[in-house]
Amino acid sequence: MTTTAEDQGTSGPTMTGRMLVVALVSAVSGFLYGYDTGIISGALLQISDEFDIGHGLEQVIAASILLGAVIGALSGSVLSERAGRHRTILVIAVVFVLGTLAAALAPSPWALAGGRVLLGVAVGGATQTVPMYVAELAPAARRGRLVLCFQLAIGVGIVVATIVGATEALDWRIAIGAAAVPALVMGVLMLLLPESPRWLVRQDRSDDARAVLERLRPASYDVDGELAEIADLDEQERGVRDDRRGWRGLRQRWVRPALVVGCGIAVFTQLSGIEMIIYYSPTILTDNGFSTSTALQVSVALGFAYLVAQLVGLALVDRVGRRRLALVTIPGAALALGTLGTVFATGHSGRGSTPFIIACLVVFMLFTAGGLQLMGWLTGSEIYPLAVRSAGTAAQSAVLWSTNLLITLTLLSTIELLGVGQTFWLYAAFNVAAFVFVWRLMPELTGRSLENIESHLADGEFSPADFEEPEPEPAPGR
């Protein structure tokens, strides 16, 4: 029996050199996301002094990148569908460089905000396009780890940004402008990589798609089987009307379960409290009696905890499974936030409780960063049918960034209204809701080909129970 690429061992095919370059591009783009969104927290101290601005304009500068990210996620969908994933990522690399330089050389606070909007367009475009591109190039057995190189690198970027901010060793313009270097590296690496074979098949370029797969897969790999699976699905979609493609296609009843799961996961990755901790933990801690130096050191420790959790999650996600990993880790995050809420709400947040508070923050970061946070970009890259994949990933990215923007603009006001402890309880409740959502709606996608996932959607079988059986082997002679 001839087997497809998906069936060549549970550990998957040997990684080729070009697939490692694909992983590196994913990592660089993720690093830029983490660094560019994280560096502003430390840089704002210097920016405020230089431009003599108040808290209102500081919030505009901090949130401007999130507004740009929403725009970038939506526009990236259109561009990646029309021009291809490869060209779109090249454009994103250029926009990264231009946005970085515009922000670093800004002569005024409003110019800085404008530069960060442009930078956000690149960040949002990268979150929409890069995981999708990697997923479409990767074999199913390696897809989770390769896509999550993007998520892991976000943690590296956050760690570097918190260290730079805590040391205050660099002028803010240099700290922001330094991101142009990895953006250039990302552009150069993309010149070494091919277009997505799935996009090429859709453009009636099957010979080019075969050539791409032969370059990406080992010599013993069953390229014919993988190409046949892609081509079969494309042929089925040829008969799909225009109103079932792209953004209009997302309104189809059979696609709706994927959209609900993908966008729901995106919302809960933000409502988990991760942005509250990353963006505002120094503010929350200093407002409650911590010294500035201690608060900044805790921020660095949380950045390292984020990175360690991502490394562990990266090693486990394709073995344990996406759904199971989320269900195991979400309760730990909820318990940590609930405990923190009790400490603050009962007035036990004094100096004597400092080690316990820090420990709870680190435990929360380990559980949420090593579980639910991994699913935001991974599910978007693999859950949507090919005909609507660009639109689906764009919608999911836009929902994620919009939720992030809403939290960033309202969190401090929520704390003033409810109190620190009660706000922690609120986000603990969000984690409980996330657990229920994953348990009831999110199927286990680990080890499934993109085509098999789409077949389940088309057959109306997209509940967790429908994915309990392993993916069937192909018929002989494929």
Burial (CB count <10 Å: 0-12, 13-18, 19+), residue 36: buried
26, 151 Cβ separation under 8 angstroms: no
> What are the residue boundaries of the structural domains of the chain, listed by start?
10-193, 243-468
Task: Specify the range with the lowest mean pLDDT, choosing from 22-31, 49-58, 142-151, 313-322.
Answer: 142-151
Tokens of 106: 């800004």
279, 63 Cβ separation under 8 angstroms: no
449, 140 Cβ separation under 8 angstroms: yes
Q: Which amino acid does the sequence have at 349?
A: S
DSSP letter at 108?
Answer: S
What is d(CA 356, CA 289) in angstroms, rounded to the nearest whole number?
A: 15
pLDDT at 1: 35
Task: Specify the range with the lowest mean pLDDT, choosing from 44-58, 105-119, 280-294.
Answer: 280-294
Tokens of 103: 């922000």
Tokens of 224: 């014919």
Tokens of 440: 């009831």
C-alpha R_g of the chain: 22
Tokens of 134: 């990697």
pLDDT at 469: 66
**Is residue 125 predicted with pLDDT exceeding 80?**
yes
Q: What is the pLDDT of residues 209-254, one digit of tens each?
A: 888 888 888 777 778 888 888 888 777 666 655 556 778 888 888 9
Fold match between domain 10-193 and domain 243-468: yes
Residue 343 φ/ψ, nearest 5 degrees: -60, -45
- Note the pTM of the prediction, 2 decimals: 0.74
CATH fit for domain 243-468, picks 3.40.50.300, 1.20.1250.20, 3.30.465.10, 3.30.559.10: 1.20.1250.20
Q: Mean pLDDT in the chain?
A: 83
Q: What is the pLDDT of residues 436-468, one digit of tens each?
A: 999 999 998 887 887 888 888 888 888 888 887
What is d(CA 427, CA 116) in angstroms, rounded to the nearest whole number?
A: 28
Handedness of CA 163, 164, 166, 167 (dihedral sign): positive
At the fourth CATH level, which superfamily is domain 10-193?
MFS general substrate transporter like domains (1.20.1250.20)
Average pLDDT in the 96-120 region? 94
Q: What is the pLDDT of residues 324-367, one digit of tens each?
A: 999 999 999 999 999 999 998 888 777 778 889 889 999 999 99
Tokens of 73: 């996620």
pLDDT at 475: 46
What is d(CA 6, CA 141) in angstroms, rounded to the nearest whole number?
A: 7
4, 125 Cβ separation under 8 angstroms: no
